[in-house]
Structure 1
Amino acid sequence: MLPSQHRLRRSQDFDDVVRGGARSGARRLVVHLSTTPPDDGSAPPRAGLVVSKAVGGAVERTLVKRRLRGLLAERLGGLEQGDRVVVRALPAAHRATSAELGSDLDAALAGARRRANRPGRRSQR
């Protein structure tokens, strides 16, 4: 479970990360990462999930959401202050094990971090 202070809640926050963040994909999911150094250094990293009906029915979507929430909670310590992450599950996610989702999440987070840190990339708000 993601702690309350680490959750993205408003649709505007999701939109800002998806439209302005660095994107990296894996077989079963896509990660959008917005790196914003906080002004006062106190903004915790925040994360949100997008699991559409393309993933499956309500039962399948709920299972994928639970797995991804747990995996994200384990990885919060590796995120920097002010980071905002949106994880979008792809249809193949409902057939994946937690270990497969975890490896895809790690790979996609690393790819998004590399893209966000590219020289010449405009800073995010």
Structure 2
Amino acid sequence: MLAKANRITSADDYRVIVRRGAKVAGTHTVSYLRARESGTDARFGFIVSKKVGGAVRRNLVRRRLKAACSEALCDDVAGVDIVVRALPSAAAADWAALRSEVFAAVANRRARERASASSLAAPAKGE
């Protein structure tokens, strides 16, 4: 289970992250990532609509996504808000597929951070 410090609970936070965050699309999920202050805990939120299935199926998908995000926290993720929206195909997806999509979204974020850091560190032309 995710600790309270690692959960997004405010509807306003969800709205901002989904509207302004970077979008990473997968086969079964769409992840929205938004950077936070460095040194802060990573926070996760989940959107699993009725299109995914009945209550039992939706809760199964949500629990799998939570477990994957909990594993991602062990991988030293910090300073980011991530909202994972499950697509209808997530109902038939197995644990490994959902886990790999969450880890791909986190890896995508790290790649973007490295790219922006290297562009900032590169000297300007004429120097």
Whether TM-score is above 0.5 comes out as yes
Aligned partners of 1:16, 1:6: CA distance in 2, in Å? Answer: 17
Query: In the alignment, which residue of structure 2 is the partner of 1:53?
Result: 50
User: Is 1:2 matched up with 2:39?
Assistant: no
SS of the aligned residue for 2:30 comes to: strand
Higher gyration radius (CA)? 2
Q: Which amino acid aligns with 1:21?
A: G
SS of the aligned residue for 2:78 comes to: coil
List aligned pairs for 1:17-96, cutoff 5 A.
Answer: 17-38=17-38, 41=39, 43-78=40-75, 80-96=77-93
Cα drift, residue 69 of structure 1 = 0.6
Cα drift, residue 103 of structure 1 = 1.4
Query: In the alignment, which residue of structure 1 is the partner of 2:96?
Result: 99
Is the contact between residue 33 and residue 112 of structure 1 (CA under 8 Å) also seen in structure 2?
Answer: yes
Q: Give the superposed CA RMSD.
A: 2.0
How many residues in Structure 1 have an aligned counterpart in Structure 2? 117
* Gapped regions of structure 2 (runs ≥ 5): 117-127
* Gapped regions of structure 1 (runs ≥ 5): 120-125
1:39-77 deviations in Å (ceiling 9; x for gaps): xx3x21111100011111111101101111111111013
Distance 1:112 1:82, change over 3 A: closer
TM-score norm. by structure 2 comes to 0.81
Taking CA–CA contacts closer than 8 Å with sequence separation of 6 or more, which of the two structures ends up with the larger relative contact order? 1
SS of the aligned residue for 1:81 comes to: coil
TM-score norm. by structure 1 comes to 0.82
